[in-house]
Amino acid sequence: MYRVAANATTHQPLVLMRHGESSWNESKLVQGQNDEAQLTDRGREEASTAVASLREYSFDVIVSSDLSRALQTAQIVGDALGLEIVTSTALRERSFGAFEGRALRELPASLSGIENRVVVDEEAHPPGGESLRELHARAGNFIESLRRDRVGERLLLVTHGGTIRALCAYCAGITMKNLAWDRVGNCSIWTV
């Protein structure tokens, strides 16, 4: 579990959860916003196991990425906790454009913007994909919409690794520039 100190403008804490292992995680493929990947048996088990850690929060609702791997994770958690699920395209993973479906090892740092687990170029992007700066802006717009429209609600956001990093950076008041690209494990829980 990872915690980011809330800044003065935060109205309520958020709990973020990455989706369970997907078939494309298992195959080490670039997923991005491609929606072909499904949860593996291990991914479903990870989601079920995470429920015990989530019971203490007394959520009002789950807001999930609309991509299958996240939504399947949210459904497992929602069923176990009796929670409504709403989806948001703003919680999708970073788009990797032409590289989606290709082996992770084929994505060079010059296009990902990440080298040695640090953001080295927040403007870099694969052809047809999204830069880290754009991902950060999308995350920030989403947070501001929550501050405006969901004040006081206890939310669980089920999303993706890159999106979690961008949400945490935004809530900490920092950009993606030189950001440490910490590991975000499947079904890991982050509080901001």
- Please confirm, yes or no, whether 125 is among the known catalytic residues: no
The 10s digit of each residue's pLDDT in 2-28 is 334 343 344 568 999 999 999 999 999
| Angle, CA of 141, 146 and 150, to the nearest 5° | 160
What's the length of the chain?
192
Query: Read out DSSP for 70-88?
Result: HHHHHHHHHHHHT--EEEE
What is the β-pairing status of strands 189-191 and 2-3? parallel
Full strand arrangement of the beta sheet holding 14-18: 2-3, 189-191, 14-18, 155-159, 61-65, 85-88
The mean per-residue pLDDT over the stretch 112-119 comes to 97
Which residue among 21, 46, 93, 100 is the active-site one?
93
Separation between Cα atoms, residue 35 and residue 7, nearest integer Å: 34
Per DSSP, helices labelled H in 3-67 are: 23-26, 41-54
The mean per-residue pLDDT over the stretch 146-172 comes to 96
Q: Above pLDDT 90, what percent of the chain?
A: 92
Give residue 12's pLDDT: 65
Give residue 8's pLDDT: 36
Please say if the pLDDT value at position 91 is more than 60. Answer: yes
Residues ≥6 apart with Cβ < 8 Å to 105: 28
Please say if the pLDDT value at position 105 is more than 50. Answer: yes
The 10s digit of each residue's pLDDT in 61-89 is 999 999 999 999 999 999 999 999 999 99
Tokens read off for 113: 């913007």
Which residue among 19, 125, 136, 160 is the active-site one?
19
3-state helix, strand, coil in the chain (%, to 5): 40, 15, 45
- Please confirm, yes or no, whether 19 is among the known catalytic residues: yes
Give residue 13's pLDDT: 80
Give residue 1's pLDDT: 36
